Amino acid sequence: MNVYLDNSSTTRAYKECAELVADVMYNSFGNPSSLHRKGIEAEKLIKTAKEQFAETIKASANEIYFTSGGTESDNLAIIGACRASRGKHIISTSIEHPAVLNTLQHLEKRGYIVDLLPVSKSGIIDVSKVEKLLRKDTALISCMYVNNEIGSIQPVEKIAKIIKSENPSTVFHIDAVQAYGKIPFSVSSTGADMISFSGHKIHGPKGVGALYVKNKTKLSPIIFGGGQQNNVRPGTENVPGIAAFGLAAKLCNTDFMEKTAKMEMLRNRLRDGIMGQLDDVVVNTPGQNSAPHILNMSFGFVKSEVLLHSLENDGIYVSSGSACSSHKKGPSYVLTAIGSDKKMIDGSIRFSLSEFNTVEEIDYTIDKVTEHVKKIRKLLKR
């Protein structure tokens, strides 16, 4: 049996999206900036995708800009907002994705002051500290909606209210790469000025993402070219990827509540099944205020990499952390930030689900995790 439980890293594309990519590449291959029929045909595909995606978050189509993925969306939002502002102060959190943290480090080297908010054991920030840190020269607050390692959900609505009350000129950016398609929200419910998205996290293709930019939000481009997308993100558009991204957005939001309820049920079944079979296990994903598709667990007296490859031999695919930092040495900075014991961090595994997972797959995973953890511990005691 093959069980794919690494959906926070990437997802299998919907069959319809894969077929659409091939069709557009072969038949609707015109440059959307060209004035002839093939160009107009490609331009219509982009327009349709904008409308499809915008509808799912209750935004206007003209507020959507397509990018190469979540990383570019984060970079464009953060650097672009700071370039357009006179302020030199930025607030973020200690458990952001590297696409945000590394961008902030880049800006620090160029004279910006960055304050990173600590998080609780549940991976949630204290909103009152946002109010204390907010300054007149705060150009930007950037916050991950759902953490990619432990699934904690940040109170973005409360942050937005503080900004509007204390300093409306501060731009509020949300990284919603792990939130979109997993928890219900709209642009108005978040109160954000900019929101980042990624196609391959929602069963769309890799190499395409989106950035929502609220009308009248000041944003400077970070790349320059032929003027496409109102000069905010120039360059010939990835028409096949964009078309498939729009379709993936539509499909993942169809029967949304049923899909997310199923993911949550399977996640809880996996958690409870493992906890019922094994001792010395810590659940790092908070019991409340967490996304339905992520389960992070630490197994005492087990190295995560050993367990990962043991499960792989049985056709089960999981992660020892986030894919973006899997090649880096040292303990997870997210688990460190929530105060996890280093010995337990070394044995942490992230299971991340999709709408395609089944009860049979979860029960098989419970059996195999239990079997391998016991086997690894027995070998270590020799």
Do 46 and 66 touch, CB atoms closer than 8 A?
yes
Number of Cβ within a 10 Å radius of residue 83: 14
Token duo for residue 149 = 């390692």
Instruction: Look at residues 5, 77, 2 and name the one whose alpha carbon lies nearest to residue 350.
Output: 5
Between CA 47 and CA 67, with CA 249 as vertex, the angle to 5 degrees is: 60
Query: Of residues 17, 82, 252, 324, which has the active-site annotation?
Result: 324
Question: Would you mind telling me the total number of residues written for the chain in this entry?
Answer: 382
- Cα distances (Å, whole numbers) of residue 21 to 61, 64, 238: 21, 20, 10
Active site residue 324: yes
Between CA 231 and CA 191, with CA 99 as vertex, the angle to 5 degrees is: 70
Instruction: Look at residues 193, 189, 209 and name the one whose alpha carbon lies nearest to residue 201.
Output: 209
> If you write DSSP's letter for every residue of 16-64 in order, what string do you get?
HHHHHHHHHHHHS---TT-SSHHHHHHHHHHHHHHHHHHHHHT--GGGE
Place of tokens 């160029």: 110
User: 3-class DSSP state for residue 144?
Assistant: strand
User: 3-class DSSP state for residue 364?
Assistant: helix
Token duo for residue 205 = 């293709």
The residues annotated with a catalytic role in the active site are: 324
